[in-house]
Amino acid sequence: MKKLLLILLCLPTIFSCGDNSKDKKEKLKVVQITNVEKNDLIEQFTKDLEKNMEASNNKNWDVALDMTYPKLFNYVARVELEEAFESISDVFKDFQLKASNIRDLYPIINYNGLQFTRFFYDSEIIFTFYNTDDFNKTLPALKDEYGENNIKYFRNTNSITVNIKSSMIAILQEKSSEWKYLEWKEDLFNQFDVIPTSILEQLK
C-alpha cells in the first residue's frame, strides 16, 4: 500500500512537488491575454498534454519527464521518478491516463525571465489490477482519496476508473519555445522550493 500511495503522488502529470520558496525582490508582472492568445495557448497545452499522456501510457518516461519543469529535479532526482514510474507495473496490470477539455486559463505571470500560467482540465485514470484481492484492498483507498462520486469500478475486469478535475502550472523558460509542466498540488507545494510563493498566490 505504501508503494501504491507513492505512485499516486508521482503519476505522470501528477509529477509535482510543491513550493515554499522565499520570493526574490524582483516584482512579478501579470499580463492579460487576448482571446486569440488564449485559444493558441489552449491548443498548445492540449497538444502537450496529449503527448504527455501518450508517453505515460506507453511507459516512455523520458518523454514525460522531459516535459516536466526541470527545477523539480533539484529536489527529487530524475532517476528516482523513473524508478517510481517503472514500479507501476508491480502494482497494476495496466494503468492508463486520459485528459480532455482544457479551460480556465489564467493570465500570464512574468517573473525573473520566466512565464507562468495555470489551467484546468478533466482527467481520467484507469487502474487495472492483477487480481481481485488487490482490487478489493485498493478500492476503499481510492474512494477516500478521490471521493466515491468520482469512482467507477468493474469487478469483472478488476479495474477502477477515477474521474477528477485536474490543474497544471505551465512554465515557459527564458529563450525557450517549449512549455514545461507541473501538476497543481497545494499539499506538496509546502515541501519543496520549486515555484515562488508569490506566483502560487496569483494562481490560486
pLDDT score, position 193: 83
H-helix or E-strand spanning residue 30:
strand 29-31
pLDDT in tens, the chain (204 residues): 444 444 544 554 444 433 344 444 458 899 999 999 999 999 999 999 999 999 999 999 999 999 999 999 999 999 999 999 999 888 899 999 999 999 999 999 999 999 999 999 999 999 999 999 999 999 999 999 999 999 999 999 999 999 999 999 999 998 899 999 999 988 778 888 899 999 999 999
Residue 194 is which amino acid? V
Nearest to 96 by CA among 180, 161, 10, 48: 161
Beta-strand relationship, 151-154 and 29-31? unpaired
The residue whose grid cell reads 522550493 is: 193
pLDDT score, position 49: 96
Q: What is the DSSP string of 177-191?
A: --EEEEE--HHHHTT
What value, to the nearest 5°, has the Cα angle with vertex 76 and ends 184 and 201? 30
Helix (H, G, I), strand (E, B) or coil at 203: helix
Q: Does domain 2-203 have CATH number 2.10.260?
A: no
pLDDT score, position 89: 86
CA dihedral 103, 106, 107, 110 (to 10 degrees): -120
Beta-strand relationship, 114-128 and 108-111? antiparallel
H-helix or E-strand spanning residue 120:
strand 114-128
Domain chopping of the chain, boundaries: 2-203
Q: Rounded to two decimals, what is the model's pTM?
A: 0.85
pLDDT score, position 185: 86
Report residue 26 CA to chain centroid gap.
Answer: 28
Q: What is the DSSP string of 140-179?
A: HHHHHHH-GGGEEEETTTTEEEEEEEEEEEEEE-TT---E
pLDDT score, position 192: 87
Helix (H, G, I), strand (E, B) or coil at 15: coil
pLDDT score, position 102: 96
